[in-house]
A and B are shown apart, each in its own frame.
Chain A
Amino acid sequence: MKLKGKVHKFGANVDTDAIIPARYLNVSVPGELAKHCMEGIDSEFLSKVEPGDIIVATTNFGCGSSREHAPVAIKACGISCVVAQSFARIFFRNAINIGLPLLECAEAVNKTEAGDILEIDLFSGEIDNISKHKKFFANSYPEFMIGIINAGGLIGYTKRRRGNSPSP
């Protein structure tokens, strides 16, 4: 799977209250959540984002609450992938589960600036910074997680597994 888009760059510890403030959690419709994506950290974000764009951040991206509304909002506003030095663990699971790809790659984060164009091969982990003519390689996913991504998320993956074996 290849992704290509413009970079929006953030720093460390971008928390889920910044990604989607709790006052908007009285709904769970993706389109509604997308209207407030990143509102807590960059009120201009939505006016800058275009379909396919990529978020690049430093450490512990998505820390805080377990709200799945956070990756849902990011995905629904058109972001195709998040590249960070590290992710908070609940956010990591949530994003993979709902089909928002994430990559961990410290070097790519360090050498990428806002506005750069990245081309990403999700399964090889190759991140090509076209603007800077530099290539990086992200940590690879464990095999079963590729299964989840290929199935479009955990629900599709679980359905497939249940279809192939008797229910537990």
Chain B
Amino acid sequence: METLTEKILTAHSDKKKVTPGDFVNARVDLVLANDITAPLAIKEFQRLGVSKVFDPKKVVMVPDHFCPNKDILSAEQAKLMREFAKEEGLVYFEVGRMGIEHVLLPEQGLVLPGQVIVGADSHTCTYGALGAFATGMGSTDIAVAMATGQIWMKVPPTIKFIYHGKLPKWVGGKDLILYTIGDIGVDGALYSVMEFAGEAITELSMDGRFTMANMAIEAGAKAGIFNVDDKTEGYLRHAIASRTSSAFAGRETTRQSQPYSVYRSDEGVQYANIIEYDVSKIEPQVAFPHIPSNAKPIGRVGDIKLDQVVIGSCTNGRLDDLRIAAKLLQGREVHPELRCIIIPGSQRVYLEALREGLIEIFIEAGAAVSTPTCGPCLGGHMGVLAAGERCLSTTNRNFVGRMGSPESEVYLASPAVAAASAILGRIASPEGN
């Protein structure tokens, strides 16, 4: 008996069966880098003395971190990546057609169940929401994966998280994952896979599942993963059917459906640990500075005034997230002493939000709406904090100096808490607002 992860890794190695702790050379289906990590990866790739990537249609580069470029040096980095992508014929999404990588790749139908995906970005684990084994690595690993189509891996043990019960109103994927990290700690799943299951997960939207898989790294995990269900299949049908030209140009496959393998964890398989929660008792969560595990229920937050709210990122920049924010911001105004910055995660999310009237709601409420970028999440641009400032953000990390000055503070929460807080100018519950 095997877990979903073990089955995927077996299928991508030369072994008949893998067990946790085994070292395997895994074949990869997709390799990813961005404007920060690609320049180093390209340099290392060139040191290898290889002229061509193993398969240009399986290597994706996305200018999202400091793009549209914030300064001359970052423009040079993006240029280096763009030129390499063009020369090698890689899958590349330019500004104006792009998105934050972990919002973009799934929506473009590039991520499929059963795949092994490695990315030079720690939040590559997001793709586990679609039943893929996806993990973040550094630039040198990615250089080798680009050159050989293979990467060494230690087969991780799997911890199963079961979420029982019915989700209370305003409680979603972000609250479940912050609550979980608060419970197990930032190294509570170190080197392991977090497999998410239970009736609350079945009820959770795909966007909520992306949020959970995304933050598996914040518990130290190698990957977060979900078994495929009807919601996954529905998402994939739509994603594959609406691939844009950058995503399928030169591929044998087109917008037509593409076969993929669905693996499932066997009933009764031995997990390294099983952790169960009753979600009906979970309140919206806020992670206090300066570590994501410092989570508190909204009822115990107290009076914390804010200077800025950010809604977006690879964690919470999808359409569902913007819909929730719009529900609260409709007909209301952002507090006069606070900046609210809303960043749709991709051009498609942006366009759909526009068509649904969400962008109008945001602008009328007094929020700034930006083109897709990782920008403020890592203190890059579009919302960097000054000393003494406090920000509540739907992003994923609240380390010292993460969003700017080392003397600033970042609180992590869901889009619902973020929107309610933007209106009141302090951390606030969406309930009753």
Contacts and interface: CB of A to CB of B under 8 A. Distances in A.
A complexed with B: yes
Interface of A: 13, 15, 17-18, 21-23, 25-28, 40-41, 59-60, 63-69, 71-72, 86, 88-90, 93-94, 97-98, 142, 144, 153-155, 158-159, 162, 167-168
B91 interface: no
Contacts of A154: 140-141, 144
Given A27-B73, A63-B187, 7 more contacts: A18-B400, A66-B120, A71-B138, A86-B190, A90-B138, A94-B138, A94-B140
Contact of B140 (A64, A89, A97, A167): A97
B186 A60 contact: yes
Given A15-B399, A28-B43, A155-B48, A60 B73 contact: no
Contacts of A72: 40
B378 interface: yes
Contact of A18 (B121, B379, B399): B399
A1 B73 CA distance: 38
Contacts of A40: 399-401, 406
Q: Which size bracket describes the interface of B in this complex?
A: 35 or more
A168 B140 contact: no
Contacts of B190: 60, 86, 88-89
14 contacts: A17-B378, A21-B406, A25-B66, A40-B400, A60-B220, A63-B186, A65-B121, A65-B122, A67-B138, A94-B141, A97-B141, A153-B140, A154-B141, A162-B48
Given A40-B400, A41-B400, A90 B136 contact: yes
Contacts of B147: 158
B62 to A, nearest CB: 14
B140 A155 contact: yes
B252 interface: no
A26 B35 CA distance: 9
Interface string B129-155: 000000011111101100111101000
B187 A17 contact: no
A26 B66 contact: yes
Contacts of B116: none
B368 to A, nearest CB: 21
B397 interface: yes
Contacts of B191: 89
Contacts of A88: 187, 190, 220
B300 interface: no
